Protein backbone atom coordinates (compact mmCIF):
# COMPACT_ATOMS: atom_id res chain seq x y z
CA UNK A 1 0.00 0.00 0.00
CA UNK A 2 1.47 3.34 -1.10
CA UNK A 3 0.78 6.32 1.15
CA UNK A 4 0.33 9.60 -0.73
CA UNK A 5 -0.09 13.08 0.72
CA UNK A 6 -2.29 15.45 -1.28
CA UNK A 7 -1.32 19.08 -0.62
CA UNK A 8 -4.00 21.54 -1.70
CA UNK A 9 -3.08 25.07 -2.71
CA UNK A 10 -6.20 26.19 -4.61
CA UNK A 11 -6.46 26.87 -8.33
CA UNK A 12 -9.15 26.09 -10.89
CA UNK A 13 -9.25 22.44 -9.87
CA UNK A 14 -10.54 23.54 -6.44
CA UNK A 15 -12.75 26.39 -7.65
CA UNK A 16 -16.47 27.09 -7.58
CA UNK A 17 -18.39 29.68 -9.59
CA UNK A 18 -19.09 32.89 -7.66
CA UNK A 19 -20.70 36.16 -8.62
CA UNK A 20 -17.21 37.48 -9.35
CA UNK A 21 -15.92 34.50 -11.32
CA UNK A 22 -14.20 31.29 -10.27
CA UNK A 23 -12.63 31.21 -6.80
CA UNK A 24 -10.81 28.33 -5.03
CA UNK A 25 -13.20 27.04 -2.37
CA UNK A 26 -12.90 23.22 -2.43
CA UNK A 27 -10.58 21.66 0.15
CA UNK A 28 -8.03 18.98 -0.65
CA UNK A 29 -10.24 16.45 1.14
CA UNK A 30 -13.19 17.44 -1.05
CA UNK A 31 -11.05 16.95 -4.14
CA UNK A 32 -10.26 13.41 -3.03
CA UNK A 33 -13.94 12.77 -2.34
CA UNK A 34 -14.75 13.95 -5.86
CA UNK A 35 -12.79 11.04 -7.33
CA UNK A 36 -15.34 8.47 -6.10
CA UNK A 37 -12.56 6.39 -4.65
CA UNK A 38 -8.79 6.24 -5.04
CA UNK A 39 -6.97 3.55 -7.00
CA UNK A 40 -6.44 0.25 -5.21
CA UNK A 41 -3.05 0.04 -3.55
CA UNK A 42 -3.07 3.78 -2.82
CA UNK A 43 -3.98 5.41 0.47
CA UNK A 44 -4.26 9.19 0.18
CA UNK A 45 -4.36 11.73 2.98
CA UNK A 46 -5.07 15.42 2.42
CA UNK A 47 -3.82 18.67 3.87
CA UNK A 48 -5.13 22.12 2.94
CA UNK A 49 -2.07 24.35 2.80
CA UNK A 50 -3.39 27.27 0.72
CA UNK A 51 -6.56 28.32 -1.10
CA UNK A 52 -5.25 30.67 -3.77
CA UNK A 53 -5.74 31.48 -7.40
CA UNK A 54 -2.27 30.74 -8.75
CA UNK A 55 -1.96 34.36 -9.90
CA UNK A 56 -1.61 35.11 -6.18
CA UNK A 57 1.11 32.50 -5.57
CA UNK A 58 4.42 34.05 -4.48
CA UNK A 59 7.89 32.66 -3.65
CA UNK A 60 6.97 32.55 0.05
CA UNK A 61 4.28 30.04 -0.88
CA UNK A 62 6.87 27.89 -2.69
CA UNK A 63 8.79 27.78 0.59
CA UNK A 64 5.61 26.77 2.43
CA UNK A 65 5.00 23.88 0.03
CA UNK A 66 8.61 22.71 0.33
CA UNK A 67 8.40 22.92 4.13
CA UNK A 68 5.20 20.86 4.10
CA UNK A 69 6.91 18.17 2.00
CA UNK A 70 9.93 18.18 4.33
CA UNK A 71 7.77 17.88 7.45
CA UNK A 72 5.88 14.89 6.03
CA UNK A 73 8.60 13.29 3.92
CA UNK A 74 9.35 10.24 6.06
CA UNK A 75 5.66 9.37 6.47
CA UNK A 76 4.65 9.17 2.79
CA UNK A 77 5.76 7.41 -0.36
CA UNK A 78 4.84 10.28 -2.67
CA UNK A 79 3.28 13.73 -2.81
CA UNK A 80 0.68 15.43 -5.01
CA UNK A 81 0.29 19.22 -5.05
CA UNK A 82 -2.90 20.59 -6.60
CA UNK A 83 -2.27 24.06 -7.98
CA UNK A 84 -3.64 26.64 -10.39
CA UNK A 85 -2.28 26.28 -13.91
CA UNK A 86 -1.20 29.86 -14.58
CA UNK A 87 1.93 29.74 -12.38
CA UNK A 88 2.19 25.97 -12.05
CA UNK A 89 5.40 25.83 -14.08
CA UNK A 90 7.06 28.41 -11.81
CA UNK A 91 6.15 26.39 -8.72
CA UNK A 92 7.36 23.14 -10.29
CA UNK A 93 10.68 24.76 -11.19
CA UNK A 94 11.06 26.26 -7.72
CA UNK A 95 10.37 22.94 -6.00
CA UNK A 96 12.97 21.30 -8.24
CA UNK A 97 15.59 23.50 -6.53
CA UNK A 98 14.08 23.55 -3.05
CA UNK A 99 13.69 19.75 -2.92
CA UNK A 100 16.56 18.29 -4.93
CA UNK A 101 17.36 14.65 -5.69
CA UNK A 102 14.16 13.33 -4.11
CA UNK A 103 13.89 9.53 -4.48
CA UNK A 104 10.14 9.90 -3.91
CA UNK A 105 7.73 11.38 -6.50
CA UNK A 106 6.64 14.99 -6.03
CA UNK A 107 3.85 15.57 -8.54
CA UNK A 108 2.06 18.81 -9.37
CA UNK A 109 -1.25 18.93 -11.18
CA UNK A 110 -4.27 21.15 -11.74
CA UNK A 111 -7.11 21.58 -14.18
CA UNK A 112 -8.46 23.89 -16.84
CA UNK A 113 -12.02 23.40 -15.57
CA UNK A 114 -13.28 22.99 -12.01
CA UNK A 115 -14.10 19.67 -10.36
CA UNK A 116 -17.78 20.56 -10.12
CA UNK A 117 -18.56 20.90 -13.85
CA UNK A 118 -19.43 18.03 -16.19
CA UNK A 119 -16.81 18.67 -18.87
CA UNK A 120 -13.85 18.82 -16.48
CA UNK A 121 -10.32 17.52 -16.76
CA UNK A 122 -9.79 17.72 -13.00
CA UNK A 123 -10.70 14.14 -12.10
CA UNK A 124 -8.47 12.56 -14.75
CA UNK A 125 -5.54 14.84 -13.91
CA UNK A 126 -5.85 14.21 -10.17
CA UNK A 127 -6.22 10.46 -10.60
CA UNK A 128 -3.21 10.39 -12.95
CA UNK A 129 -1.17 12.46 -10.48
CA UNK A 130 -1.96 10.03 -7.65
CA UNK A 131 -0.91 7.10 -9.85
CA UNK A 132 2.35 8.84 -10.71
CA UNK A 133 3.00 9.67 -7.04
CA UNK A 134 2.54 5.99 -6.22
CA UNK A 135 5.02 4.92 -8.92
CA UNK A 136 8.81 4.70 -8.73
CA UNK A 137 9.39 7.88 -10.77
CA UNK A 138 11.49 10.13 -8.50
CA UNK A 139 11.83 13.90 -8.40
CA UNK A 140 9.55 16.81 -9.24
CA UNK A 141 7.19 16.50 -12.19
CA UNK A 142 3.94 17.87 -13.60
CA UNK A 143 1.16 15.47 -14.59
CA UNK A 144 -1.37 16.98 -16.98
CA UNK A 145 -3.49 15.63 -19.84
CA UNK A 146 -2.01 12.13 -19.31
CA UNK A 147 1.57 13.39 -19.74
CA UNK A 148 4.40 13.41 -17.19
CA UNK A 149 6.67 16.44 -17.61
CA UNK A 150 9.96 17.32 -15.97
CA UNK A 151 9.44 20.07 -13.38
CA UNK A 152 12.25 22.26 -14.73
CA UNK A 153 11.13 21.98 -18.35
CA UNK A 154 7.37 22.48 -18.27
CA UNK A 155 5.60 25.56 -19.61
CA UNK A 156 1.95 26.47 -19.98
CA UNK A 157 1.44 26.94 -23.71
CA UNK A 158 -2.36 27.00 -23.98
CA UNK A 159 -4.71 29.12 -21.91
CA UNK A 160 -7.92 27.04 -22.25
CA UNK A 161 -7.24 23.65 -23.82
CA UNK A 162 -6.86 20.51 -21.73
CA UNK A 163 -3.43 19.99 -23.31
CA UNK A 164 -2.19 23.09 -21.51
CA UNK A 165 1.46 22.14 -20.83
CA UNK A 166 4.43 21.15 -22.92
CA UNK A 167 7.96 20.08 -22.11
CA UNK A 168 10.43 22.58 -23.57
CA UNK A 169 13.68 21.29 -25.10
CA UNK A 170 13.32 17.98 -23.28
CA UNK A 171 11.23 14.83 -23.89
CA UNK A 172 8.25 13.90 -21.75
CA UNK A 173 9.15 11.67 -18.81
CA UNK A 174 6.25 9.35 -19.58
CA UNK A 175 2.51 9.00 -20.11
CA UNK A 176 -0.42 7.54 -18.23
CA UNK A 177 -2.68 5.25 -20.23
CA UNK A 178 -5.62 3.15 -19.03
CA UNK A 179 -4.70 3.62 -15.39
CA UNK A 180 -1.05 2.64 -15.86
CA UNK A 181 2.10 4.76 -15.64
CA UNK A 182 4.28 4.21 -18.71
CA UNK A 183 7.69 5.79 -17.98
CA UNK A 184 10.14 6.79 -20.70
CA UNK A 185 12.85 8.55 -18.67
CA UNK A 186 13.78 8.23 -15.01
CA UNK A 187 15.20 11.28 -13.26
CA UNK A 188 18.45 10.84 -11.36
CA UNK A 189 17.98 11.00 -7.60
CA UNK A 190 19.85 10.56 -4.36
CA UNK A 191 19.31 8.27 -1.39
CA UNK A 192 17.76 11.22 0.47
CA UNK A 193 16.31 14.56 -0.66
CA UNK A 194 18.26 17.79 -0.26
CA UNK A 195 16.05 20.57 1.06
CA UNK A 196 16.69 24.33 0.80
CA UNK A 197 14.88 26.93 2.87
CA UNK A 198 15.68 30.30 1.30
CA UNK A 199 14.91 32.31 -1.83
CA UNK A 200 16.09 35.77 -2.88
CA UNK A 201 13.06 37.36 -4.51
CA UNK A 202 14.96 40.37 -5.87
CA UNK A 203 15.09 38.89 -9.36
CA UNK A 204 13.58 40.90 -12.22
CA UNK A 205 12.63 40.08 -15.79
CA UNK A 206 12.72 42.42 -18.80
CA UNK A 207 11.04 41.25 -21.99
CA UNK A 208 12.59 43.15 -24.87
CA UNK A 209 10.30 44.82 -27.39
CA UNK A 210 11.37 46.84 -30.41
CA UNK A 211 12.06 50.40 -29.27
CA UNK A 212 12.40 49.66 -25.54
CA UNK A 213 14.40 52.35 -23.72
CA UNK A 214 17.55 51.82 -21.69
CA UNK A 215 16.05 53.53 -18.64
CA UNK A 216 13.65 50.60 -18.22
CA UNK A 217 16.65 48.31 -17.81
CA UNK A 218 18.41 50.81 -15.53
CA UNK A 219 15.29 50.96 -13.35
CA UNK A 220 15.37 47.18 -12.87
CA UNK A 221 19.12 47.13 -12.23
CA UNK A 222 18.74 49.68 -9.43
CA UNK A 223 16.16 47.55 -7.61
CA UNK A 224 17.32 43.97 -8.15
CA UNK A 225 20.02 41.47 -7.27
CA UNK A 226 19.72 39.86 -10.70
CA UNK A 227 18.03 40.79 -13.96
CA UNK A 228 16.96 38.32 -16.63
CA UNK A 229 16.64 39.78 -20.11
CA UNK A 230 14.34 37.93 -22.49
CA UNK A 231 15.84 38.80 -25.85
CA UNK A 232 14.84 38.03 -29.43
CA UNK A 233 15.83 34.87 -31.30
CA UNK A 234 19.14 33.35 -30.21
CA UNK A 235 19.87 36.41 -28.07
CA UNK A 236 21.39 39.86 -28.08
CA UNK A 237 20.79 43.50 -27.10
CA UNK A 238 19.97 46.50 -29.30
CA UNK A 239 23.20 48.26 -30.33
CA UNK A 240 21.64 51.71 -30.11
CA UNK A 241 20.38 53.39 -26.97
CA UNK A 242 23.16 52.54 -24.52
CA UNK A 243 22.09 49.02 -23.51
CA UNK A 244 25.62 47.64 -23.71
CA UNK A 245 26.92 50.40 -21.44
CA UNK A 246 24.09 49.80 -18.98
CA UNK A 247 24.92 46.11 -18.71
CA UNK A 248 28.66 46.85 -18.50
CA UNK A 249 28.11 49.14 -15.50
CA UNK A 250 25.97 46.49 -13.83
CA UNK A 251 28.53 43.74 -14.37
CA UNK A 252 31.39 45.94 -13.15
CA UNK A 253 29.52 46.22 -9.85
CA UNK A 254 29.69 42.43 -9.53
CA UNK A 255 26.03 41.88 -10.19
CA UNK A 256 24.16 39.20 -12.17
CA UNK A 257 22.62 39.53 -15.63
CA UNK A 258 21.22 36.59 -17.61
CA UNK A 259 20.30 36.57 -21.31
CA UNK A 260 17.58 34.22 -22.43
CA UNK A 261 15.20 34.11 -25.38
CA UNK A 262 11.50 34.73 -25.94
CA UNK A 263 11.44 31.77 -28.34
CA UNK A 264 10.20 28.67 -26.52
CA UNK A 265 12.17 26.02 -28.39
CA UNK A 266 15.86 25.44 -29.17
CA UNK A 267 17.29 28.03 -26.77
CA UNK A 268 19.77 30.88 -27.02
CA UNK A 269 23.24 31.13 -28.56
CA UNK A 270 24.94 34.46 -28.00
CA UNK A 271 27.88 33.52 -30.22
CA UNK A 272 25.85 33.71 -33.45
CA UNK A 273 25.30 37.45 -33.98
CA UNK A 274 27.30 40.56 -33.18
CA UNK A 275 24.48 41.86 -30.96
CA UNK A 276 25.05 38.92 -28.61
CA UNK A 277 28.71 38.03 -29.11
CA UNK A 278 30.10 41.10 -27.29
CA UNK A 279 27.89 40.44 -24.28
CA UNK A 280 29.43 37.01 -23.87
CA UNK A 281 33.02 37.87 -24.80
CA UNK A 282 33.48 41.28 -23.17
CA UNK A 283 30.97 41.39 -20.32
CA UNK A 284 30.58 37.77 -19.30
CA UNK A 285 26.81 37.84 -18.94
CA UNK A 286 25.26 34.49 -18.12
CA UNK A 287 23.35 32.69 -20.84
CA UNK A 288 20.26 30.56 -20.24
CA UNK A 289 20.79 28.32 -23.30
CA UNK A 290 17.88 25.85 -23.40
CA UNK A 291 16.39 26.64 -19.97
CA UNK A 292 12.85 27.88 -19.59
CA UNK A 293 12.35 31.37 -18.23
CA UNK A 294 10.47 29.85 -15.28
CA UNK A 295 13.49 27.71 -14.40
CA UNK A 296 15.92 30.63 -14.84
CA UNK A 297 13.93 32.82 -12.43
CA UNK A 298 13.53 30.09 -9.80
CA UNK A 299 17.17 28.99 -10.04
CA UNK A 300 18.48 32.52 -9.59
CA UNK A 301 16.27 33.02 -6.52
CA UNK A 302 17.63 29.77 -5.09
CA UNK A 303 21.28 30.59 -5.91
CA UNK A 304 21.22 34.19 -4.67
CA UNK A 305 19.82 33.05 -1.32
CA UNK A 306 23.04 31.03 -0.99
CA UNK A 307 25.64 33.44 -2.36
CA UNK A 308 26.07 36.81 -4.07
CA UNK A 309 29.65 36.07 -5.15
CA UNK A 310 29.65 36.39 -8.99
CA UNK A 311 32.05 33.49 -9.54
CA UNK A 312 30.03 31.17 -7.32
CA UNK A 313 26.75 32.36 -8.84
CA UNK A 314 28.09 31.52 -12.30
CA UNK A 315 29.27 28.08 -11.17
CA UNK A 316 25.93 27.21 -9.62
CA UNK A 317 23.94 28.62 -12.53
CA UNK A 318 25.81 26.45 -15.04
CA UNK A 319 25.58 23.35 -12.83
CA UNK A 320 22.59 21.36 -14.13
CA UNK A 321 19.91 20.60 -11.54
CA UNK A 322 17.11 18.18 -12.41
CA UNK A 323 18.16 18.46 -16.07
CA UNK A 324 17.22 22.14 -16.23
CA UNK A 325 19.89 22.62 -18.93
CA UNK A 326 21.83 20.19 -21.07
CA UNK A 327 25.34 19.61 -19.71
CA UNK A 328 26.86 19.73 -23.19
CA UNK A 329 25.71 23.37 -23.39
CA UNK A 330 26.71 24.20 -19.83
CA UNK A 331 30.14 22.60 -20.09
CA UNK A 332 29.68 20.27 -17.11
CA UNK A 333 29.18 16.59 -16.46
CA UNK A 334 25.50 17.09 -15.67
CA UNK A 335 23.08 15.27 -13.45
CA UNK A 336 22.03 12.79 -16.08
CA UNK A 337 18.99 10.66 -16.67
CA UNK A 338 18.32 7.03 -17.39
CA UNK A 339 15.87 5.46 -19.80
CA UNK A 340 13.64 2.72 -18.45
Supply the residues annotated as catalytic.
Answer: 12
Phi first, then psi: what are they for 293, rounded to 5°?
-60, -40
- Rounded CA-CA distance 327/188 in Å is 14
Write the Ramachandran bin of 21: left for phi over 0, alpha for psi from -120 to 50, otherwise beta: left
**Count of C-beta atoms within a 10 Å radius of residue 60:** 9
N- to C-terminal Cα distance for the chain? 23
Give residues with Cβ within 8 angstroms of 258, minimum separation 6: 226, 227, 228, 229, 285, 286, 287, 288, 296, 300, 317
Give the CA count within 13 Å in the CB-facing half-sphere of 47. Answer: 15
Work out whether the CA dihedral 92, 97, 99, 101 comes out positive or negative.
positive
Report yes or no: 187 and 137 within 8 Å, Cβ to Cβ.
yes
If we measure between CA atoms, which residue out of 335, 300, 336 comes closest to residue 316? 300
The DSSP bridge partners found for residue 139 are 105
- Rounded CA-CA distance 232/88 in Å is 25
Helical residues (DSSP H) of the chain, grouped into ranges: 28-33, 59-72, 88-98, 122-133, 214-222, 243-252, 274-278, 293-304, 310-317, 327-330
- Rounded CA-CA distance 219/165 in Å is 33
Amino acid sequence: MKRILLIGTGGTIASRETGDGLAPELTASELLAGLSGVESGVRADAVELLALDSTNIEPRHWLMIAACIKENYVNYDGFVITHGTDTLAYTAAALSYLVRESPKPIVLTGAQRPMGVDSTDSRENLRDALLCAASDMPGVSIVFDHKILLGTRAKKTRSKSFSAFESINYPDLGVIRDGAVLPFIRQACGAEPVFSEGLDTQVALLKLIPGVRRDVLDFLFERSDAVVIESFGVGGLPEAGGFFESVRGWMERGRVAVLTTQVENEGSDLTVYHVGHRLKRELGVLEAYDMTTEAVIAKLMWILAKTKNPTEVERLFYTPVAMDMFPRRAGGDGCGFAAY
